[in-house]
């Protein structure tokens, strides 16, 4: 493996946008480490990518597991000595879709969604930041959603005004806050941190009603992962366009 090859870790990479992101990065010469909840699934995903000519490796990474996070950091450090790209792609949606009533959202639902969509992202990024700091051009991409935009939710005329799913929306708004804060902390480094809205995509979460195909849904993550030195940091992006927080 060439020493200058970029190394990327994508969480939740065994299907949907995560898998397509790994594929598109791999096609651009990036070594991809695909994380999945089980080692078997991760290895099968990596093997499929390898069959397409992509340099891929699988790791067991249930993002809410502290043991898995530590093991992945150890593996990346020993095998590659650095991490150039971290794509925090893994996420969960509401168990009731958009049929829930905000005042009736239960603690268990909030805890379940925030555990994956926020707390695991913060913990995994903290674990891997020492390796990202060893990169010449570290990139952290947090998979958010337009449903995390407080500005658009507060506007009764916005296209998402009636799409209220409090636990999920709040988790993505909090993730956006993390992006802003981490980007500020790292502003004097070469590391760039951004939130990505992939779009409404035909995935298990997005359903077949979504207008975007999976390959298009991965484009924002891939572009942010491969930003040049003059690219943005601390921004909320969809297909090259900045979204309101």
Q: Give the DSSP letter of residue 53.
A: T
Tell me which of 57, 168, 178, 236 is the catalytic residue. 168
Residue 198 has φ and ψ, to the nearest 5°, of: -70, -20
- The residues, ordered by sequence, that sit 6+ positions from 82 with a Cβ below 8 Å of its Cβ are 7, 76, 131, 132, 134, 135
- The residues, ordered by sequence, that sit 6+ positions from 178 with a Cβ below 8 Å of its Cβ are 118, 121, 122, 142
Radius of gyration (C-alpha) of the chain in whole angstroms: 17
Contact status, residue 169 vs residue 153, Cβ threshold 8 Å: yes
**Which tokens hold the place of 228?**
């040049």
Distance from C-alpha of 76 to C-alpha of 8, rounded to nearest angstrom: 10
Closest CA to 124 of 76, 81, 183, 92: 76
Other C-beta atoms lying within 10 Å of the C-beta of residue 175: 22
**85-88 and 192-196: which strand pairing?**
unpaired
Specify whether 178 is catalytic. no
**Which tokens hold the place of 161?**
């005004």
3-class state of residue 32 by DSSP: strand
Annotated catalytic sites, by residue?
168
């Amino acid at each position: 493996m060439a020493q200058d090859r970029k190394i990327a870790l994508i969480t939740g990479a065994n299907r949907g946008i995560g898998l397509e992101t790994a594929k598109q990065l791999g096609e651009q010469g990036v070594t991809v480490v695909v994380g999945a909840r089980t080692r078997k699934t991760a290895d099968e995903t990596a093997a499929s990518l390898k069959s397409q000519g992509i340099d891929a490796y699988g790791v067991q990474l249930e993002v809410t597991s502290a043991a898995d996070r530590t093991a992945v950091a150890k593996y990346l450090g020993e095998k590659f000595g650095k991490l150039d790209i971290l794509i925090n792609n893994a996420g969960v949606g509401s168990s009731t879709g958009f049929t829930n009533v905000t005042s009736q959202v239960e603690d268990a639902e909030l805890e379940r969604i925030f555990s994956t969509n926020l707390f695991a992202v913060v913990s995994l990024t903290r674990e891997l930041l020492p390796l990202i700091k060893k990169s010449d051009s570290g990139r952290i991409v947090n998979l958010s959603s337009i449903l995390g935009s407080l500005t658009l939710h507060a506007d009764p005329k916005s296209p998402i005004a009636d799409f209220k799913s409090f636990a999920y929306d709040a988790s993505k708004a909090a993730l956006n806050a993390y992006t802003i804060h981490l980007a500020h902390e790292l502003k004097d480094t070469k590391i760039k941190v951004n939130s990505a809205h992939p779009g409404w995509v035909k995935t298990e979460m997005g359903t077949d009603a979504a207008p975007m195909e999976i390959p298009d849904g991965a484009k924002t993550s891939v572009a942010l992962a491969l930003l040049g030195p003059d690219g943005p940091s601390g921004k909320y992006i969809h297909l090259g366009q900045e979204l309101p927080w």
